[in-house]
Structure 1
Amino acid sequence: MNYQESREYIDKITREIPSVLGLDHMRELMKRLGNPQDDLKYVHIAGTNGKGSVIAFLYSVLSGAGYHIGRYVSPTLYSYRGRMEVSGSRISREDFAAYITQVSDVIAAMTKDGYPHPTAFEIETAVAFLFFKKENCDLVLLEVGMGGNLDATNIIKNTLLAVLVSISMDHMSFLGNTLAQIAEKKAGIIKDGCRVVTARQKPEAMQVIERISREHGAKCTIADASEAEVLKESCLGQTIRYRGEEYEIPLAGVYQKENAVVALNALKVLDELGFSTAAEQKKEGLRTVNWNGRFTVICKKPLFVVDGAHNPAAADMMAASIEHYFKGKRIIYIMGVFADKDYRSVIQKTVHFADRILTIQTPDNIRALPAGELAKTVSEYNPNVQAMDTIKDAVEEAFSLAGEQDVIIAFGSLSFIGEMTDIVENL
């Protein structure tokens, strides 16, 4: 396959093979590929909100310190290949196509032998492991796709550090109906004898994490964001003081203080595990981190913010940031969500800030909720809503409605934010 054919192959699998949790298919697939994942070391990150930000902080610091670091994240906003990177370089089109060809040949043999067809995420994860092994990474930062214990990424054995960001109610149909049940699944990434860093969780989740850590003989460090102080802030970034040191962070959002504290604790543990970074390297890495789409300003007049508030916990965080930065401002929303998310809760937590709401449907995604259906639900809470035909139409309408002092906020699914950013930059 060439690159275009390999992408079409993945898109076809996405449409035809539903997401599943379980490691049986992944074990068979990786065994037939020679188990490349067993030759690598990992920081494995699970939780509900903040995984990508914590990985971005760690990636920036460790790569800046000279380590050859692999990063696997999803979804990505601006480049599909950006989900698999090594020290700042995305997987090449040629390598991706070659690995997809290799994996597809193995899958053909698997299905001929009676095994079920792997999902798109399992295939992408397999490609990532092949890529990271070829690159001979010192360490791989690996983001869980969903849950933890049965996620395709959890086939790994050499977890040096398991990181658990904030855990809240999400993917309940897969993970459970209580916070304790969800925490049990997410803490399934903890391996015997590894180290654990967790954000300070709600009590029912914290109890589960501490119990599972004990059961695996895994020393657990709690990263408590209340120990950090915000010295200055704006919607363009913030400076925090933590344990006597000051850190500049070019990411807005009230939740980024917690993510930075989790990352700093993870770096302290990695110091002890042989991946040491100097104090100035930590500061420089946080100062230069790049992680777009999380309360990110993409235009200043009028102010245009994009944010991946796609579940109730993320909606709480976005609402807190709106209160913090834009109290009293006239706000226009552009909103698009996936049908399988708890979008009604997202609506309830956010719509009261908006003067006008424009709904869109995320293009080319079978999970996307139609704009009309979303507008109908929004209208139950705020009547000033209008369904738009395209993202471009929504952006143009938002700019026509907004004065220079107003704020446009686009949020919901992360999958449309890259396209929206391109549209805004080219207007």
Structure 2
Amino acid sequence: MNYEAALEYLHGTLKFGSIFGLDRITKLLDLMGNPHKKLKFIHIAGTNGKGSTTAFINNILVESGYRTGMFTSPYIQRFTERIKVDNTEISNNELAELVLQIKLKIKEMVSNGFEHPTEFEIITAAAMEFFYRKNCDFVVLEVGLGGIVDSTNVIDLPEVSVITTISMDHTDRLGATLGEIASHKAGIIKHNGTVVLYPQEQEAEEVIKRVAKEKNAKIHKVDFSTISEKSFGLEGQIFDYKDYENIKIGLLGDHQMKNAAVAIDTCELLCNKGFAITHRNILDGLEKTMWPGRLEIINENPLVMIDGAHNLEGGQALNAALDKYFTQKKKIFIVGFLRDKDFKGIMDMLGSKADTIITVTPNNERAVPSAELAQILQIYSQSIIDGMSIENGLQIAVGLADKESVISAFGSLYMIGEIRGHYK
């Protein structure tokens, strides 16, 4: 099996849906010898910020000399981005070999009457086996969706569980209230575990505290009051936090200082457990962290920024960033959304900032067609253009831009990955 055949097989399993539950992944990993039971984890759930926080923690551990696996989703450009060891992606051949071996185990499973695993379960199993083979000291494991019955929750007690900011998203799967969504995220809390908590709205925080109490888990709530910004620009930002001075991060936005604080507190707890992580390791790890598709400047002339904002909280972060970094710039938006997202709510926040809005159709069956989106968004701008394809929309935006402009593309990771591919 080559890489292309492996991807074809994986994507073919989408017909089995995205079904919650741990029975299939538990059985599959059991047939594989339970590689996950031989690894140490930092497990990260949340609505927004979990990818960036995962990347920060990963880089601190790498800087500390630990062989560190990182599992994230979704990917921006390459499928192999999702599985890394010491920031090196799994190779195409390694992935193909793993998928072939897992395919044989699945055949055995199904012949014995078990349900066929989903795509995400197969990818999770492949990652676990890869990290075990690579002798990882740590694995920084990002939840796929929710928490309690997400396939990553097959792990036993992690070194630390981390819950980043929780907001309304995936309401069709996780529940219609903040409390219901929080109960899914809180599902990663294990008995006698340690939890690092990003400060939440009261409804969400009460749920998390209740679950932690039921499981005799200790909560460490991060205190953002000691964050003090010192400088910022398009190259990054510098701030102080607790006794850490002049922390440099390349990721833009006030929310990234908070995500970095969560990473710092997580690594301090690991240090308290006896793992060797120094002040310098933390500063260097944070500074070296890059995370594609999150307020990322991918071109300077014209200025092009991509962002994965696809829910209200992501929209708020993008809104704040546009105000902070691009106050005087003419704003050209390239937007594409999936139908199940609150794109009207996002555009209620951002639409009035646009001088021109160009609509495109993301490459996904759930995408809102660009022509339909252009009709809906007419209320926000007198200059709205149906760009149709992503490539055509980008060409139109570049043609309109000058040195006083910023092109801001957002709304779907499927879309911004394609735009990033034009420059990176």
* 8 Å Cα contact 2:331/2:356 also seen in 1: yes
Match of 2:357 in 1: 357
CA drift at 1:340: 2.2
Match of 1:336 in 2: 336
Match of 2:307 in 1: 307
CA distance in 2, matches of 1:378, 1:103: 46
Unmatched segments (≥5 aa) in structure 1: none
Match of 1:415 in 2: 414
What's the C-alpha RMSD, in Å, of the aligned pairs? 1.5
Match of 2:6 in 1: 6
Identity %: 38
1:327 match: secondary structure: coil
Unmatched segments (≥5 aa) in structure 2: none
* 8 Å Cα contact 2:371/2:388 also seen in 1: no
Indicate whether 1:112 and 2:111 are aligned.
Answer: yes
* 8 Å Cα contact 1:395/1:424 also seen in 2: no
CA drift at 1:383: 4.6
Q: Please, which moves more after superposition, 268-277 or 400-409?
A: 268-277
One-letter amino acid matched to 2:355: D
CA drift at 1:64: 1.3
Residue deviations 1:124-160 (CA, integer Å, cap 9, x gap): 0110011111112111100001000010110111311
1:238 match: secondary structure: strand
CA drift at 1:79: 2.1
Match of 1:136 in 2: 135
1:213 match: secondary structure: helix
CA drift at 1:17: 2.4
Distance 1:34 1:151, change over 3 A: same
CA drift at 1:292: 1.7
One-letter amino acid matched to 2:368: L
Match of 1:321 in 2: 321
Match of 2:88 in 1: 89
Residue deviations 1:146-186 (CA, integer Å, cap 9, x gap): 00001011011131100000000111111111111111110
Distance 1:74 1:377, change over 3 A: same
1:284 match: secondary structure: helix
* 8 Å Cα contact 1:37/1:156 also seen in 2: yes
CA distance in 1, matches of 2:370, 2:273: 49
One-letter amino acid matched to 1:131: F
Distance 1:149 1:382, change over 3 A: same
Match of 1:27 in 2: 26
CA distance in 2, matches of 1:413, 1:75: 11
Residue deviations 1:177-222 (CA, integer Å, cap 9, x gap): 1111111110100001111101111111111112211221211111
CA drift at 1:279: 0.7
* 8 Å Cα contact 2:39/2:137 also seen in 1: yes
Question: TM-score scaled to structure 2, two decimals?
Answer: 0.96
* 8 Å Cα contact 1:235/1:253 also seen in 2: no
Match of 1:231 in 2: 230
CA distance in 2, matches of 1:188, 1:352: 39
How many residues in Structure 1 have an aligned counterpart in Structure 2? 423
Match of 1:189 in 2: 188
Match of 2:200 in 1: 201
Q: Please, which moves more after superposition, 179-188 or 321-330?
A: 321-330
